[in-house]
Structure 1
Amino acid sequence: MIRINGLTKRFERRAVLDELTLSLDAGDRVALIGSNGAGKTTLFRCLLGHYRYKGEVGFEGAGATRRDMSLLSRVAFVPQLPPPLRMPVGELLSFAEKGAGADRARMLDISGKMGIDLDEVRSRPFYRLSGGQKQKILVTVALARAADLLIFDEPAANLDPAARAVFIDLLAERKDASMLIASHRLEEVAPLVNRVIELDRGKVVLDDSVVDRLKAGAFRSCRIGIAEPHPTFANALAEWGFTGTDTLFEGRIPAGDTLRFLGLLSRYASLIERLSFETGDE
């Protein structure tokens, strides 16, 4: 579906994306993880044509131009920070319906489930809404579109717990779309995805498939090497039963807890120099 080759994006002299190469197939549901500054949001913006970049980004069935309209019409995006739109909510919803193909009945259904009354906020400027209200509306619009690819950048960050649970359920219902989800709550999106990709300093440092074929009792042996001693990280690994030296750790985790464990590792991505997994049985 998407082929990325040698993607490089610099801000001043710093490479936020550094010769990044990656392929995403139709049907892939990817959890994109990594510390702040790893390049997740920049990757999304390049895919959407918001930035100029070096390298190649190809989208199946789209033209070669950076902002090909046939591509943008097939992608729904929810940013980490809602844009400061001054238009009334009703005007935004009308634009989403007429300009982006969002289904009106679907928007009403989704917004109700998310806990926001569109009629109540319809006349209010979007930028005057609370952070949670803005996020609920953006999620509503994105999920009401018949998009081939859904891109979410920390989409649940401003949602209350009830809305967050509904959002995850709504994503699970979308069997027709590929997804790229950047989230610090890996444990929440784990049931939705079939692949985990970790970025660090603009490069892919982990690309792991999530498989359902592992037998009960299966586990993964893991070796982790870090750049320098880090007592907090060592204590976190000790809680998983890992042992080792100050910079090299070994242990094993239940295969079904792989994503939860990767969520832990993502918080220390800048420390990790070596990471390997092997699968076995009890």
Structure 2
Amino acid sequence: MIQIKNLTKKYGQKTVLNSINIKFEKGKVYGIVGENGAGKTTLFRCIAGLEKYTGEILSDFEILKNRLGLLLTDPFFFSKITGREYIQLLANARQIQLNDIESKNLFNLPLDQYASTYSTGMKKKLALTAILLQENQVFVLDEPFNGVDIQSNLVITELIKKLKATEKTVLISSHIFSTLAETCDEIFLIKNGEILRKVNQKDFSDLEAEMKEFSIGDRINKLELK
């Protein structure tokens, strides 16, 4: 279980997150949706221990970040590290003994090639593979489907379902609503750094319609396309 109490994050005078209160339970998948700049990535970085904030983040773990796998939108790789070395590095950080990495190469990546030369989608798949092999209990996935081919998106969707079945806690942000609807138990709508509402699975279609109306409105009609 992870409980966030009155979490506030500011950059100078700008408030990015304003008194966030959420609870995440084991064995459930949660979606975080909102426009660009709404605060999704900052919230994830706070949970992962990468940002200072006011408020509290409580969990069942002594040190949450040591049991958490974070997939960033744009993963960083050192210029002279191969895919294989990257996976081994992250495993070493958790004192995990890996045998036969090749058999765990879920996305058939060129593991002996420098990771910095990978495409955007390949980098994301490498980073995801590495955190999966760390045996984490919590997974925070920031836009895991962006920049990834259709086949791999199907694999990632099934991976999320498997993580849920093995009692992991999974947090996802995505602009692809259909993937959230297929995997999430609850979705939180965030706007201007505040949680506007929580939606259960049975009401996902209503939320999607509401978001379309809010995002699109009559903007397209104003173009007067011919």
TM-score by length of 1: 0.69
2:194 partner letter: K
* Separation in structure 1 between the aligned mates of residue 76 and residue 178 of structure 2, nearest angstrom: 27
Change beyond 3 A, Cα 1:187–1:105: farther
The residue aligned with 1:259 is: 204
Segments of 4+ in structure 1 off by > 6 A?
A: none
RMSD: 2.4
Contact 1:200 1:269 in 2 (8 A): no
AA at the equivalent of 2:93: G
Unaligned runs of at least 5 residues, structure 2: 218-226
C-alpha deviation, 1:27, in angstroms: 2.0
**Structure-1 residue corresponding to 2:60:** 60
1:242 matched residue in structure 2 = none
Calculate percent identity across the aligned residue pairs.
23
> How far, CA to CA, are the matches of 1:19 and 1:206 in structure 2?
14
Q: 1:98 aligns with which of 87, 92, 99?
A: 92
Equivalent residue, structure 1, for 2:65: 72
Say which SS state the counterpart of residue 73 (structure 1) adopts. helix
Unpaired runs of 5+ residues, structure 1, are 63-69, 211-254, 273-282
Residue of structure 2 in register with 1:27 after alignment = 27
Question: How does the TM-score come out when normalised to structure 2?
Answer: 0.84
Contact 2:16 2:192 in 1 (8 A): yes
Change (3 A) 1:264 1:131: farther
Tell me the matched-pair count: 214
After superposition, the Cα gap between the structure-2 partners of 1:206 and 1:108, relative to the gap in structure 1 and judged at 3 Å, is: farther
- The corresponding residue for 1:179 is 170
Q: Which residue of 2 aligns with 1:209?
A: 200
What corresponds to 2:157 in structure 1? 168
Distance 1:104 1:158, change over 3 A: farther
3-state SS of paired residue (1:23): strand
Read off the aligned partner of 2:81 and give its amino acid letter: P
**Which has the higher mean CA deviation after the structures are superposed, 152-161 or 95-104?**
95-104
Aligned to 2:139: 150
Q: Which amino acid aligns with 1:92?
A: Y
Would you say the 8 A contact 1:34–1:269 is kept in 2?
no
Judge conservation of contact 2:86–2:130 (CA < 8 Å) in 1: no
**Contact conserved, 1:35 with 1:268, CA < 8 A, in 2?**
no
* C-alpha distance 107-171 of structure 1, shift in aligned 2 (>3 A): farther
AA of the residue aligned to 1:180: L
Is 1:82 equivalent to 2:75 in the alignment?
yes
CA deviation string 1:105-150 (max 9, x = no partner) = 58544534x24232xxx242x2222111101101111222321111
For residue 102 of structure 1, report the CA deviation from its aligned partner.
5.5
Structure 2 CA distance for partners of 1:182 and 1:204, relative to 1, 3 Å: same
Q: 1:129 corresponds to which residue?
A: 118
Q: Indicate how the Cα distance of structure 1 residues 266 and 150 shifts in structure 2: closer, same or farther if over 3 A, else same.
A: farther
1:251 equivalent in structure 2: none
* 1:32–1:40 contact (8 Å) kept in structure 2: yes
Cα offset for 1:270?
A: 7.7
Encode CA deviations 1:147-167: one digit per residue, 9 max, x unaligned. 111110001111111111111
Identify which of structures 1 and 2 has the higher relative contact order when contacts are C-alpha pairs closer than 8 Å and 6+ apart.
2
Q: Residue 6 of structure 1 corresponds to which residue in structure 2?
A: 6
Whether contact under 8 Å (1:8, 1:18) holds in the other structure is yes
Q: Higher Cα Rg: structure 1 or 2?
A: 1
Shift of 1:14: 1.3
- Name the structure 2 match of 1:192: 183
- Cα deviations across residues 243-281 of structure 1 (Å, max 9, x unaligned)? xxxxxxxxxxxx5xx434434544666899xxxxxxxxx
